[in-house]
Chains A and B, each alone.
Chain A
């Protein structure tokens, strides 16, 4: 899952919600709160390792 997140973010910045939705579709898993929490945890871990960075960037409307 971490690899997929890195791969996705390497293409373009995205919000946590977007990533969560994209991966749920990709792996055909229910996009529920549990799943979103897992993604959030992985994102935090990747941030901790310095592989990604959380910013205040907002996606264009």
Chain B
């Protein structure tokens, strides 16, 4: 998965089938070193001994409470996210979506109401290469971003939005009653997996906000505000200490920062195209 190899163990055949179908474009790492060893294992609960539950294990340790077995796919994806956030500190980890166009990436930092994953899904089916819908992995010394294209989780209403907007896209199974509601996963386009060793620098930072019925607005954002929003949206900014400060400062200096308000995907994509054509 991008710069990391993940070894997944499981006993559940349904999960295996889902993974086989959704991960079809990924390469097996063979004998290369795996950084993460995770497992979906059955769990028994004292209170409800007959309901099939499962646990997510990282090197044999459970990271969160057991969940109903049918949520295994969602739990696996979350668990791998947690594992990356817990262990990776040689890169700065931003909480944002990252897509590439014209050899540079755009960052869409996560903030409430951003709808970054939905926007990201739309963009990667209109000519943008997916780096990630969740993690901006940046080398703090060189400012280079590493792709880590993975299944994109759509939640609740976004599922219908994408079904309408991109009817040809194959979606994973619908997983209900998770703590975030109903989830379904969008597999990354094949090209973004094939090219996942191609890194790029960032040129634009866009803070998106989906507002029902709103007309499109792309407003420049002062660097200081962008800095604060980006730094507070990082998983390990504090861990890297001074390195983070210098790295984010440099990043802001080298990017154009905007706030994007939209309600219509076509308009948003057109605006992003215009933005990314102008390097």
| A adjacent to B, CB under 8 Å | no
Chain B interfacial positions (CB closer than 8 Å to A)? none
